[in-house]
Amino acid sequence: MTQSDESSLISLTDEPLVVDLNARRRRRRRIRSTTSNGSGDVIVIDSPAEVSNPVAPRRRRRQRRSNGDSVVDLTCNDSVELVDLTTPASLIRPPLNRTQKRTDAAGLITTTSAPRQDLLSHEDTSPILKLNCPVCLEPLHSVIRAGRKICSTVCGHIFCRSCIKQAVRTCKKCPTCRKKLTEKGFHDIFLPIS
């Protein structure tokens, strides 16, 4: 009961973030690049196509550089956005003009490299994020997208925070392996959501 209350509450405040599908994908993508390179490093949009597609790497790179401006622009916001995911949703709301910019960029990306998009959406979700929380059965990636936290127990089992918290309170055990747990027996983990 408390659980569903909590999630609906969060997703409500979370909503303004998701401008449209493209924008959202775009955001995730940017987050991937910043997490793998540090928020200071701007240019890199980590493109799986570049790795798996041997065709004319040089040209591709040049192409991307020519898009440099918009990329730089967007990733400049990244440091802010990246923090957003791990801070309360109420702080996220971007100013309107920024939203606009984001949508433009998404459109640009879609037209220049449709196949890359496909690859991305496959790779988008790493295997661990496809796992479900064993208690609420939600995939971890949707837990994170809803602005909720993922936890690991000291015995190494993964749940969303609201579930493990409730389970420890009521059962005092790890739901997966039944190891005795206290409130200190689990902690947040931070999975980059691509």
Between residues 23 and 163, which has the closer beta carbon with respect to Zn ion? 163
At residue 166, φ and ψ (nearest 5 deg) are -65, -40
Q: Which of 138, 146, 149, 155 binds another protein (CB under 8 A)?
A: 138
Judged by CB under 8 A, does residue 173 bind another protein?
Answer: yes
DSSP 58: H
Report d(CA 18, CA 27) in Å as an integer. 9
Query: Nearest approach, Cβ of 145 to another protein (angstroms)?
Result: 15
Binding residue for Zn ion, selected from 171, 177, 180, 182, defined by CB under 5 A: 177
**How far apart, in whole angstroms, are the C-alpha atoms of residue 146 and residue 3?**
13
DSSP conformational letter for 38: -
Stretch that binds Zn ion, among 35-43, 84-92, 121-129, 149-157 (CB under 5 A): 149-157
Per-residue CA distances from 40 to 37, 43, 98 (Å): 8, 9, 19
3-class DSSP assignment, residue 131: coil
Q: Which listed range, 43-51, 84-92, 99-107, 172-180, lies at the site for another protein (CB under 8 A)?
A: 172-180
Q: Verify binding: residue 167, another protein, rule CB under 8 A.
A: yes
Instruction: Give the three-class secondary structure for 193.
Output: coil
- Cα–Cα dist 35/79, whole Å: 10
- How far apart CA 27 and CA 34 sit, in angstroms, is 11
Question: Which residues, numbered 116-135, are part of the site for another protein (CB under 8 A)?
Answer: 134-135
Binds 4, which of Zn ion, another protein, none (CB < 5 to 8 A, cut-off by type)? another protein
Q: Whose Cβ is closer to another protein: residue 153's or residue 194's?
A: 153
Binding site for Zn ion (CB under 5 A): 133, 135-136, 153, 155, 157, 160, 163, 174, 176-177, 179
Binding site for another protein (CB under 8 A): 1, 3-5, 134-138, 163, 166-167, 170-171, 173, 175-176, 178
